[in-house]
Structure 1
């Protein structure tokens, strides 16, 4: 019996020694094998059993004062733990995977590691969890030998370039925000030698990891792009974290690309590039060792993580669209064309949260106190002014101007007025327009602080910026409003020369247009109803004073029509809508008559093109056809957008009218044509005096319906920079955030237009009705 106990004890002792040797020392080999050995060995470990059976659970970071804390050897986490927890047992590990394994196997009670990497680790380790809030954040940079200033400056120039052209932001979005793990193909001439970069391959996503025998991650892509920038072949040197700095000091490697935190101590040994990210550090531990609150979980939102399967409102074609699609694939994405539409969707419970600029959100909440901010700094992106691909000179002139106003204090004054205070209270300075060459500026006119329409003129940070640029360069600036989604196509097709309105610089947009240097950072806020946000539970929600129906209607009329002379926008939009409707009808009727004649011809050379015209126009959505005419057919022609709208709507109307005319004509008995000819009439006179009057009388009811459809169809002309009634209401709603009055008012105006025009057609119908003529003759 004693022999058996001795054998068992010896095996346990051997397992214990083997566990310590494998798991607490850096042993090169296959990580999966090492992981399996440690996991099996730990099952027999007395320490592991004790860690789960003895001691209290961890409720907060304060409970770790006398516990075992795991850190990466030589890291900032190491020094932080030493200083902050002097009575704790600090266990140092050489690789990140060893730290995770130590926590899972009970070697430590908790460990400190990078918050961004932990989020990825938790995807495949659901038994781990964050303990408390992030501890601190530290900037990271690329490490260089102190004597290699040339390479360091080359990297800084490269970093500035990718931040300017949007590549950097695209990388941050893909690797950190969206959790994408696909490494892009980067072309490299490799003609200028070799660049040796020191890395730690198991740093963890989103920074560095080996996948399919290839290094991927933010640091890997950054190194590859820099090597391509230099035209050098990239050689990755994988080593222990503690060996990185000695390797670059001894010039064994050219630089370190491994999320190296910038500290004063490290600066004594190596030089750092400009910072390229801020890393956060957090404690993590086994879920079963963390105290979970027994309070019932609220259905209200505490952060964006509570919205993974909820409804998001975003602007069509913005970076938010792609951000939500990739980060929250199970969420329902609702795309809107204006801020006012998004506010209305929130208030009517069509969506759960809207993503907007944080300053714009503040303006909205001022008018809608029932809304609140769920989370700030959801996504930060640089903003730029867009220029055509062939306008390098104009773009460089703007960049020089931007640099100049940053230096003389003008920019700081503008930013303070528009972005730090209440943008609605800012008085737009009078800036004289230049008298030189004319350039067209495309804007969306949707929100402050960027672009708005107040007191009959355009205002906002972007407007003041471009007006100051125009004044300094003697440019005659013509401002044209359009839908946000139409800005980039309009610039790419040459319809406008410059675009601005809080446009984020992205890699996708940079393929279509050239951006200026960034003039501001777009900080995204998530906005929702306060009743859905947890942190507003104990705060009183402001109540909106409610009066009677008449009082509310009068106040809405004052805010939406009288205030800031907004009636002028409505009047201009009304004129444009009526003009387009009438001219499109006249043009479409004449063109439709011609197409009808060709369609009824026995000559195939005439009838075939007519049939094709009718089929194409009737089968193509009007909006698509309108944009094709404006951005493709007339791309190289400087033509008034109103005229383009008349042509497009007229052609569409003609396709339907041609068939209406043909149906009406063929409904007349052929015997009447024969009778007319037998009476001595020519074919033309027979048609004009006998067939046509009957045809008009028969087709007018259908023609009226098609005409009214045309009038309502004109509401989409805002996509080609025409300010009609609908666009006028959007501009007003972007200022008042009134959900209903502008829409109801525009609906009434459309009804009045349709009613008046229908009366004119009914008058024509009576004039062509034989029965009506006979009645008038009898009365006479």
Structure 2
């Protein structure tokens, strides 16, 4: 009977999750096309983008602050202006953009996005606003060796995963294609001779070549990699699509996107080619300071709530009540059995379909929940390590079971598990970097911002490695100090 109840609890748990997931489709099916009216009513058009694709979208340093710039941003501003509203730009990982659109985190996505049959099944697309060609970025030392894609035989070529350039390179015979998610990583691989060339959108390739010494761009000679850039909207948002298409049509009459938006975006990019690495990185000190603040904020709040959740679910799992025990087991095993990155995205996008949760709040909630599952097992292990004689002695002195647990067992258990809790805190600080996928401005996010703005790949990585080490080493020393205090108190 107990096993049957336990299975029933697990079944209800997963049905609940599926129910949350199902709300997205129900909402979409029952909503009429009042998208444009709603946007005009709230006075703002929210644009989602991934600012790591200059000159279309990139993060620029203006008076020590992050600001998203680019040709696509100018396009979004023009669309919003024609709608009579203001534009709000929300940054997130490229892979999260369409999910954000489907869960109403953003109203439209402009990110050098290409319309595909698969994507068209879940979102609506505008007409093409720009047709881009494919360029090759090579080291200047290879300019006499590589003049087009014909010279890539028996060589390795890099391209962004999911791009049309990646698909085109994969089709070439005798060419090894290496896919990476971030353009800066591809440039680093090229400059360190890990690959012979990078296949990229022609305008993006030119932007990187203009701001990096030692590399240059050439025409690929490969027209199969050309692609149309489109704007994505929620499925069925025809009023928004029609409004955007009117703006696109007006811009195309004078070829404004190519003649005005792209050159203006390129002019806003910093020129760091002749500047030393130390000087260029010092300009971004405010970026790193902001990243440290958010990383510590996430970690401190998450560890507090993680310990609270850990104590609650550890006691529930040790409880003789089968319902409390089953709930605790479901929570602990499910959280420990799924990737934390997925949990962060689920809280932000999944629960966000019901309640509008800001990115920072969603990151803290997800990391707290994840930490709570691991802390629960640490605390449970600490409690079970205490001799049963301690509890029996407390009961014989007239203490209740709750008093015995509070005043006798838990204090001793925390002394035993202190090193493990310290390790969990260090791990949590490092895992906070996963929140960057939903646009939380912690250290990893700021590092990507500095890479995109400075066009220096290795230096920002080295800096945040040192920062993470200083933070975690300091935490470890503090935890070690209190561990010694506990041991000293025990010996006394």
Same topology, TM > 0.5: yes
Aligned residues: 352
Map Cα deviations across residues 425-475 of structure 1 (whole Å, 9 max, x no partner).
34xxxxxxxxxxxxxxxxxxxxx7xxxxx79xxxxxxxxxxxxxxxxxxxx
How do residues 540-555 of structure 1 correspond to structure 2 at under 5 angstroms? 555=276
Partner of 1:416: 259
For 2:265 and 2:250, the matched residues in 1 are separated by 24
Query: Which of 396, 402, 427 is the matching residue for 1:709?
Result: 427
Q: Secondary structure at the match of 1:350?
A: coil
Map Cα deviations across residues 316-345 of structure 1 (whole Å, 9 max, x no partner).
3322233333x1376443332322111111
Map Cα deviations across residues 178-231 of structure 1 (whole Å, 9 max, x no partner).
xxxxxxxxxxxxxxxxxxxxxxxxxxxxxxxxxxxxxxxxxxxxxxxxxxxxxx
Partner of 1:675: 393
Contact 2:439-2:445 within 8 A present in 1 as well: no
Deviation, structure 1 residue 655? 1.4
For 1:747 and 1:589, the matched residues in 2 are separated by 27
Query: Which of 372, 387, 397 is the matching residue for 2:233?
Result: 387
For 1:373 and 1:756, the matched residues in 2 are separated by 45
How do residues 207-606 of structure 1 correspond to structure 2 at under 5 angstroms? 300-325=145-170, 327-328=171-172, 331-376=175-220, 378=222, 379-407=225-253, 409=254, 412=256, 415-419=258-262, 423-426=265-268, 555-562=276-283, 566-606=284-324
For 2:252 and 2:207, the matched residues in 1 are separated by 26
For 2:321 and 2:177, the matched residues in 1 are separated by 52
Deviation, structure 1 residue 608? 2.2
Deviation, structure 1 residue 662? 0.8
For 1:661 and 1:738, the matched residues in 2 are separated by 44
Query: Which of 480, 488, 492 is the matching residue for 1:771?
Result: 488
Structure with the higher fraction of residues in helix conformation = 2
Contact 1:303-1:375 within 8 A present in 2 as well: yes
The unaligned stretches of length 5 or more in structure 1 are 1-164, 171-297, 427-447, 449-453, 456-543, 546-551, 776-780
Partner of 2:353: 635
Return closer, same or farther for 1:689/1:629 CA change in 2, 3 Å cut-off: same
Deviation, structure 1 residue 674? 0.9
Q: Secondary structure at the match of 2:157?
A: strand
Q: Which has the higher contact order (CA 8 A, sep 6+)?
A: 2
For 1:601 and 1:644, the matched residues in 2 are separated by 30
For 1:632 and 1:329, the matched residues in 2 are separated by 42
Partner of 1:174: none
Deviation, structure 1 residue 405? 3.9
For 1:366 and 1:592, the matched residues in 2 are separated by 52
Partner of 1:739: 457
Q: Secondary structure at the match of 1:383?
A: strand
Q: 1:659 aligned to 2:380? A: no
Map Cα deviations across residues 392-427 of structure 1 (whole Å, 9 max, x no partner).
2222222222333444x5x53x633454x585434x
How do residues 93-108 of structure 1 correspond to structure 2 at under 5 angstroms? none
Q: Secondary structure at the match of 1:333?
A: strand
Contact 1:599-1:610 within 8 A present in 2 as well: yes
Return closer, same or farther for 1:600/1:343 CA change in 2, 3 Å cut-off: same
For 1:400 and 1:757, the matched residues in 2 are separated by 56
Q: TM-score, normalised to structure 2's length?
A: 0.65
For 1:673 and 1:729, the matched residues in 2 are separated by 51
For 2:177 and 2:487, the matched residues in 1 are separated by 57
Partner of 2:473: 755
Q: TM-score, normalised to structure 1's length?
A: 0.42
Partner of 1:527: none
Q: Secondary structure at the match of 2:334?
A: helix
Larger-gyration structure (1/2): 1
Deviation, structure 1 residue 671? 0.7
The unaligned stretches of length 5 or more in structure 2 are 1-112, 118-142
Q: Secondary structure at the match of 1:637?
A: coil
Map Cα deviations across residues 41-82 of structure 1 (whole Å, 9 max, x no partner).
xxxxxxxxxxxxxxxxxxxxxxxxxxxxxxxxxxxxxxxxxx
For 2:458 and 2:345, the matched residues in 1 are separated by 29
Partner of 1:25: none
Deviation, structure 1 residue 573? 2.1
Map Cα deviations across residues 269-310 of structure 1 (whole Å, 9 max, x no partner).
xxxxxxxxxxxxxxxxxxxxxxxxxxxxx9944432343553
